[in-house]
């Protein structure tokens, strides 16, 4: 691996070689938790930051949990609650196309054509940006159909 990274002498190669010879890499690999090696080869302990993230994650439902909850609520007919669950998912990951799909469906089922139309528009925009033109086309048709129903 060193041969590949160090095929031409450069600062990265020299730094990597220094860290390898000085034992700093081995020291960092043996440390538990969260750390960073700075440019001078010192190991910086970042556990305080990582522990804060873990604490927040422990109290925040995961996207997977919220998705399961939202889909269960949808199956039970609790459409407003399902929408709330998918609101949380979208807040956590605004690029999650599937969350918009489910939320738009639930919104259209309760008759909230305006909000469903906004979500269908977001689906089309995200799908186009990703190059998923078949999805964009399908949801553009749904958007147009929904707008006809709303008029």
Residues 29, 91 within the same domain? no
Spatial contact of 115 and 87, defined as CB atoms under 8 Å apart: no
**Closest-CA residue to 102 (of 128, 63, 131, 129):** 63
Angstrom distance (rounded) from CA 24 to CA 19: 5
Q: What is the DSSP letter of 112?
A: -
Q: Give the DSSP H or E segment for 75.
A: helix 63-76
**How many distinct structural domains can be found in the chain?**
2
Are residues 145 and 79 part of one domain? yes
Res 86: pLDDT:
95
The whole model's pTM is what?
0.60
Annotate 75-100 with b (16+ C-beta within 10 A) or e (fewer): eeeebebbbbbbebbbeeeeebeebb
Average pLDDT of each block of 10 consecutive residues along the chain (151 residues)?
A: 42 41 45 61 62 48 90 94 96 92 95 95 94 93 86 61
> Position of tokens 């008029």?
151
Residues 77 and 140 in one domain: yes
Residues 77 and 129 in one domain: yes
- Specify which residues 89 forms β-bridges with: none
pLDDT recorded at residue 46: 59
41 and 85 housed in the same domain: no
Is residue 107 packed enough to be buried (19+ CB in 10 Å), middle (13-18) or exposed (0-12)? buried
Q: Quick one: 51 and 76 in the same domain?
A: no
For 77, the 3-state DSSP assignment is coil
| 118 and 85 inside one domain | yes
Indicate if 70 and 137 belong to the same structural domain. Answer: yes
Structural domain that includes position 28: 2-55
Q: Are residues 66 and 139 in the same domain?
A: yes
**Does residue 101 sit in the same domain as residue 132?**
yes
> How high is the pLDDT of residue 34?
63
Closest CA to 126 of 151, 150, 104, 149: 104
Question: Do 37 and 91 lie in a common domain?
Answer: no
Shared domain check, 28 and 71: no
Q: What is the CATH number of the domain that holds 122?
A: 1.25.40.10
């Amino acid at each position: 691996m060193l041969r590949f990274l160090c095929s031409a002498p450069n600062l990265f190669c020299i730094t990597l070689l220094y860290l390898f010879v000085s034992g700093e890499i081995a020291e960092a690999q043996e440390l538990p938790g969260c750390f960073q090696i700075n440019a001078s080869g010192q190991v910086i302990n970042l556990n305080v930051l990582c522990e804060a993230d873990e604490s927040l994650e422990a109290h925040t439902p995961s996207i997977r949990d919220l998705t399961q909850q939202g889909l269960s609520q949808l199956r039970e007919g609790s459409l407003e609650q399902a929408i709330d669950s998918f609101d949380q998912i979208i807040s956590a990951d605004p690029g999650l196309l599937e969350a918009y799909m489910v939320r738009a469906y639930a919104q259209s089922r309760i008759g909230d054509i305006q909000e469903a139309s906004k979500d269908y528009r977001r689906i089309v925009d995200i799908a186009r940006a990703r190059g998923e033109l078949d999805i964009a086309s399908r949801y553009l048709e749904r958007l147009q159909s929904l707008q006809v129903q709303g008029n």
